[in-house]
């Protein structure tokens, strides 16, 4: 069986990565599987452990690093996030195309380890629109909103490192573009 693709989706906090992903995640032609990350961040309302993230303590996260259980990991605005290695390998061995939704530092580590990874960066139509979306989410206090916006400005400088950049002005259109990109890579 052909090993599945490793697909990285990055983009600033609030750009709507999750919403775009939902549009194409269940497309049977794409044969996708979502890699659930581990994080030390607090659970947001509506998030489910084991579905959105594995919510762990700093000690548990450190243990996963020490035991070599993470494919990549990074700190993001005071919390740790990482990709469980075994799940990704198992799914790819089963022929699934695995989607990682991770930030830029993690993507750099992926590029080092898997140069073939398909990397896509989602940008907002403007920084004003991004700010509006983060605030509209109403999940973080002002201080964190400011930190996430500052982080977004920095992250956007790295988009040249990605194979593709897609603008999320219209969710359906962004999802369709990503669909086409993935299909093209499946045919290679």
DSSP string for 10-52: E--TTS-HHHHHHHHHT-TTT-EEEPPEEE-SPPPTT--BTTT
106 lies in the site for ligand 5GP, by CB under 6 A: yes
Q: Which two tokens stand for residue 48?
A: 């489910």
**Cβ-based nearer residue to ligand 5GP, 23 or 105:** 105
**28 burial level (CB within 10 Å; 0-12, 13-18, 19+):** exposed
Beta strand ranges found along the chain (DSSP E): 6-10, 32-34, 37-39, 53-55, 70-76, 79-84, 97-101, 118-123, 164-167
82 lies in the site for ligand 5GP, by CB under 6 A: yes
**Cβ-based nearer residue to ligand 5GP, 137 or 179:** 137
Q: In this structure, are residues 69 and 136 in contact, taking their beta carbons and an 8 Å threshold? A: no
Task: Show contacts with ligand 5GP in window 8-27 (CB under 6 A).
Answer: 13
Euclidean distance between CA atoms 78 and 111, whole angstroms: 24
Count of residues engaged in binding ligand 5GP, rule: CB under 6 A? 15
**Cβ-based nearer residue to ligand 5GP, 83 or 97:** 83
Q: Which residues pair with 32 in a beta bridge?
A: 97
Task: Show contacts with ligand 5GP in window 121-180 (CB under 6 A).
Answer: none
Contact window for ligand 5GP (CB under 6 A) among 20-28, 85-93, 100-108, 127-135: 100-108
The least distance separating ligand 5GP from the CB of residue 104, rounded to whole angstroms, comes to 8
The least distance separating ligand 5GP from the CB of residue 34, rounded to whole angstroms, comes to 11
81 lies in the site for ligand 5GP, by CB under 6 A: yes
Task: Show contacts with ligand 5GP in window 26-55 (CB under 6 A).
Answer: 37, 41
CA dihedral (143, 8, 80, 148) in degrees, to 10, reads -10
With CB under 6 A as the contact rule, the residue among 20, 30, 98, 102 that binds ligand 5GP is 102
- Residue keyed to tokens 């992926």: 110
**Cβ-based nearer residue to ligand 5GP, 4 or 80:** 80
Phi, psi for 157 (deg, rounded to 5): -70, -15
**Residues in the site for ligand 5GP, rule: CB under 6 A?**
13, 37, 41, 72-74, 76, 81-83, 101-103, 105-106
């Amino acid at each position: 069986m052909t090993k599945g693709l490793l697909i990285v989706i990055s983009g600033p906090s609030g750009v709507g990565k999750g919403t775009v992903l939902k549009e194409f995640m269940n497309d049977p032609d794409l044969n996708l599987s979502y890699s659930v990350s581990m994080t030390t961040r607090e659970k947001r309302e509506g998030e489910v452990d084991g579905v959105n993230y594995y919510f762990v303590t700093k000690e548990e996260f450190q243990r996963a690093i020490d035991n070599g259980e993470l494919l990549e990991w990074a700190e993001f605005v005071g919390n740790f996030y990482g990709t469980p290695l075994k799940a990704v390998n198992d799914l790819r061995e089963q022929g699934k195309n695995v989607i990682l939704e991770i930030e830029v530092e993690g993507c750099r580590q992926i590029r080092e380890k898997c140069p073939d990874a398909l990397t896509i960066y989602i940008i907002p139509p403007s920084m004003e629109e991004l700010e509006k979306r983060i605030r509209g989410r109403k999940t973080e206090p002002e201080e964190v909103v400011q930190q996430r916006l500052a982080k977004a400005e920095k992250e956007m400088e790295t988009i040249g490192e990605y194979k593709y950049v897609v603008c999320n002005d219209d969710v359906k259109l962004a999802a369709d573009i990503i669909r086409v990109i993935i299909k093209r890579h499946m045919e290679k």
